[in-house]
Structure 1
């Protein structure tokens, strides 16, 4: 028996699944590629999209977890990273320093509920996993939040502060948004603090 035949025969439920439903859900997920963020992709003049950020987030979380030998559930961590931005299909991306950021979770949660109910969705606990990354306090969630802040910061550093400059972001805004990292990951926080000073000296952040 070939590997393909083995796969098709693996589940007795396979004959009851409409592949049109499966592909419908896959295209629903594809919509995340249309959501542009504020960060610029390094080496280009284009904005990063949320699907790219989700991939980068998952890979970065995995690498850091392995490198620092963190006592976490890697499967859970990667699932949290992959669903992290799915609500933006409905809500769009909300800039970290936007006044409306505190309300973004409302539309995002509605978007996740819609995806959960879509035909062809095989992830029974999609809403539960998303809620964990949004409101949970597990070690996996803590790491996810740290890395989620690091990545756009890193892109800004490597594009000469382009997004910060365009949006008149201040040093105090960036310092405040990353302050929580001091307790959960001190070595990364120390690096961030030094880079904030550097960015301010370069004129990429308003010294205010």
Structure 2
């Protein structure tokens, strides 16, 4: 039995490295930045909650798997800030990390690469919801921290609008809520109105 447990325990310790990846998003109230493992858990819970709210026949197990693997590539690649100039190429290093994790001798999850690629492509119903929720959570954190990450990084309203525009076509009700909160943030001076 030990010969089976040792490899998987080493694999789990590789996954544990996600806890050491800090994001630029502040947790509720702005006390500190969250790490990517915290974000992954929060994303999975939020996806589950939204799937229940929307009652749109989601494959919940698939949705939760997509959420859990979503940021695993950051173990080696680090977190890429939403408004970073390097955003377009971040997936390359993330994909390399996923391939490395998938080929780990202790990895029993044969579909790891396929699940990660599905969330990356963002085409399935579940992957589309995941992308929306993944954008909303940092936005929500900015709302509860008086725009701390936006203010730290000099973010403008137009940047936020651009990165969240895709929500409108798939989830117009969520997009309307987002616009209302965005206007409030601008009114409070948390975002530059440009």
2:43 aligned partner: 57
Given the superposition, is the C-alpha separation of residues 192 and 44 from structure 1 closer, same or farther in structure 2, using an over 3 Å criterion? closer
Specify the structure having the higher radius of gyration (Cα): 1
The residue correspondences of 1:40-119 to structure 2 (distance < 5 A) are 40-43=26-29, 45-119=31-105
Number of aligned residue pairs: 194
Cα distance between partner residues in 1 of 2:3 and 2:141: 42
Aligned-pair Cα RMSD in Å: 1.1
1:139 aligned partner: 125
Structure 1 stretches lacking a partner, 5+ long: 1-14
Q: Secondary structure at the match of 1:183?
A: helix
Cα distance between partner residues in 2 of 1:38 and 1:44: 11
1:35 aligned partner: 21
1:20 aligned partner: 6
Conserved 8 A contact 2:30-2:144:
no
Cα distance between partner residues in 1 of 2:105 and 2:29: 39
Q: Secondary structure at the match of 1:204?
A: coil
Conserved 8 A contact 2:18-2:36:
yes
TM-score normalised to the size of structure 2?
Answer: 0.97
Bigger relative contact order, structure 1 or 2 (CA pairs below 8 A, ≥6 apart): 2
Cα distance between partner residues in 1 of 2:32 and 2:128: 30
Structure 2 stretches lacking a partner, 5+ long: none
Q: Per-residue deviation at 1:20?
A: 1.0
Given the superposition, is the C-alpha separation of residues 16 and 23 from structure 1 closer, same or farther in structure 2, using an over 3 Å criterion? closer
Q: Per-residue deviation at 1:119?
A: 1.7
2:111 aligned partner: 125
